[in-house]
Amino acid sequence: MQDSGPSTETGDYAGASSKKDAAEIALVRKLDIYIMPILWIMYFMNYLDRNAITTARLNGMEKDPGMVGAQYNTCISILYVGYLLMQVPSNMLISSTKVRPSLYMSICMSTWAVVSATTAATQSYTGMVLCRFFIGVVEAPYYPAALCFLSMFYTRKEIATRLAILYSGNIFSTSFAGLIAAAILVHHRWLFTLGCAFAAAWILPDFPLTTRWLKPAERRLAHDRIARDTVGIATSKGPWSGFVQAVKDPRLYLLCFMQNMHISACSFNNFFPTVIGGLGFNSTITLLLTCPPYLVSGLFGILAALSSGKFNERTWHITGCMGLALTGFIISCATLNVAARYVSCFMFASGAYAVNSIIFGWVSATLGQTTEKKAVALSIVNVFANLSYVYTPYLYPKSDGPHYLTGMASDAAFATMTIASTWALRIWLRATNHKLQNEDSGTILYYAY
């Protein structure tokens, strides 16, 4: 997972330099081996549980609980109400050092396995709504905690790639959800989730200076290299201080808007099987055809993150990716031609999904002056991003099929706003860097854009 390019002594335009020390390279390789596989599996299972309802819809899920009208859409959006409630307090708890993150995340995963098993037995609309709400509550801590984990162990030139690999767990889970829905795992995946939770308790780290499977020298190196890579690093004063620092930083709100617009542009996700089915295929062919766009988008996202990390660049990468997505949305709005619309699915899925890791890497690098501030900022941005799932399900009513013009046109507008906010932040950070240069000629670290 070498993503930093050749070594430099002076660093790039933002003062970030590539790995050049053999001990540091070995440390990062060890971190990758221990952290990435288990985090990826946990996210795969996390999203598989959430996405089960989208493929179940193709097989008549709405008929069993007697759903009518917009009740299916409500079942989708209610999960995110529960999902939003726990994220910020959860990350504040993790950054407080009062809990072991590895045990905390494992307990949360065990709980969502039990709730997921309960959902499978639900036979009423009311029961489905309640189960979906509580799945959101117990799954909420995982993703912001994973973002916090990675930001504590990887530099700004490394983190985008790891975030993209993590996010591919979401994409591949969505891709294979339809196939898994027809397999034995649909009845027993909650047992597999429990097994993963127990394994995570032993494998996941806690903090750089307290990780069990790192040697003392490795712990110190893991801590120090993140400190050397942080612009405006400050002394930690506790989770509430971190919360105040985060909400007082005006850049947080632009990043919240940017990520909200980006995730809003990804609203096709909850209706992707339905959109593909609208091309005129039966349910089996539809489930098979949903896989390729997701697989391509997962690989494209990793390549985009590798490039973003290598050049320590965000603006042009986000612009290019969201520009590709925007083109796909426009094609879907303009035609009902089966081949053209299927190609457009590859375009908007690849472009839109690639941006997630780059934006969260930007949050970590820009608002990471203390661990607590970074943890709160990541969770707040994720909360605002997921607010989109409360309202975007209503952009794809069944009556709009097979064109879904309202949804696709809205996603095109969201993609445009993502690009605009990206350039606004670039201008803002360039001005901040210029101010840092004028105030202190000895400054060697600057904000990347």
pLDDT in tens, 225-277: 998 888 877 777 788 888 999 999 999 999 999 999 999 998 887 677 777 76
- What's the Cα-to-Cα distance from 149 to each of 144, 161, 217, rounded to whole Å? 9, 14, 20
446 assigned to some structural domain: no
CB burial readout 163-188, b (16+ within 10 A) else e: bbbbbbbbbbbbbbbbebbeeeeeee
Sign of CA dihedral 312, 386, 151, 159: negative
Lowest average pLDDT, out of 94-108, 308-322, 374-388, 390-404, goes to: 390-404
Cis link prior to 208 (omega < 30° from 0)? no
User: Quick one: pLDDT at residue 324?
Assistant: 95
Q: Is it the case that residue 214 has pLDDT exceeding 60?
A: yes
Distance between CA atoms of 406 and 402, rounded to whole angstroms? 11
User: Quick one: pLDDT at residue 4?
Assistant: 40
- Contact in structure between 252 and 383 (CB atoms under 8 Å): no
281 assigned to some structural domain: yes
Rounded to an integer, the average pLDDT of 188-214 is 84
User: Quick one: pLDDT at residue 249?
Assistant: 93
- What's the Cα-to-Cα distance from 30 to each of 154, 169, 219, 361, rounded to whole Å? 12, 20, 12, 21
16 assigned to some structural domain: no
Sign of CA dihedral 70, 72, 78, 83: negative
Distance between CA atoms of 121 and 236, rounded to whole angstroms? 46
Distance between CA atoms of 1 and 159, rounded to whole angstroms? 11
Distance between CA atoms of 311 and 362, rounded to whole angstroms? 13
8 assigned to some structural domain: no
User: Quick one: pLDDT at residue 125?
Assistant: 79
- Contact in structure between 55 and 24 (CB atoms under 8 Å): no
User: Quick one: pLDDT at residue 57?
Assistant: 53
Rounded to an integer, the average pLDDT of 33-41 is 92
Higher pLDDT, 43 or 188: 43
- Provide the pLDDT confidence category of residue 315 given band limits of 50, 70 and 90: very high
Distance between CA atoms of 52 and 446, rounded to whole angstroms? 43
Kindly report the CATH number assigned to the domain that includes residue 423: 1.20.1250.20
**Percent with pLDDT over 90 in the chain:** 31
Q: Is it the case that residue 2 has pLDDT exceeding 60?
A: no
Cβ-based neighbours of 282, under 8 Å, separated by 6 or more: none
Closest CA to 387 of 156, 88, 94: 88
Rounded to an integer, the average pLDDT of 283-311 is 85
- Provide the pLDDT confidence category of residue 426 given band limits of 50, 70 and 90: very high
Q: What is the pLDDT of residues 104-135, one digit of tens each?
A: 889 888 888 888 777 766 777 788 888 888 88
Helical spans, DSSP H, in 98-250:
101-120, 125-139, 142-153, 159-181, 185-203, 216-228, 239-248
- Contact in structure between 349 and 293 (CB atoms under 8 Å): yes
Higher pLDDT, 39 or 71: 39
CB atoms within 10 A of CB 59: 14
Domain that holds residue 59: 22-439
Tally of domains within the chain: 1
- Contact in structure between 237 and 370 (CB atoms under 8 Å): yes
User: Quick one: pLDDT at residue 172?
Assistant: 79
Q: What is the pLDDT of residues 151-199, one digit of tens each?
A: 989 998 899 999 999 988 877 776 766 565 555 445 566 677 788 888 8
Q: Is it the case that residue 208 has pLDDT exceeding 80?
A: yes
289 assigned to some structural domain: yes
Structure tokens at 418: 């993502």
Higher pLDDT, 152 or 3: 152
Cα within 13 Å of Cα(315), Cβ side: 14
- Contact in structure between 166 and 150 (CB atoms under 8 Å): yes
10 assigned to some structural domain: no
User: Quick one: pLDDT at residue 254?
Assistant: 97
Rounded to an integer, the average pLDDT of 54-60 is 53
Higher pLDDT, 376 or 51: 376
Q: Is it the case that residue 332 has pLDDT exceeding 70?
A: yes
449 assigned to some structural domain: no
9 assigned to some structural domain: no
Closest CA to 26 of 226, 222, 227, 310: 222
Q: Is it the case that residue 144 has pLDDT exceeding 60?
A: yes
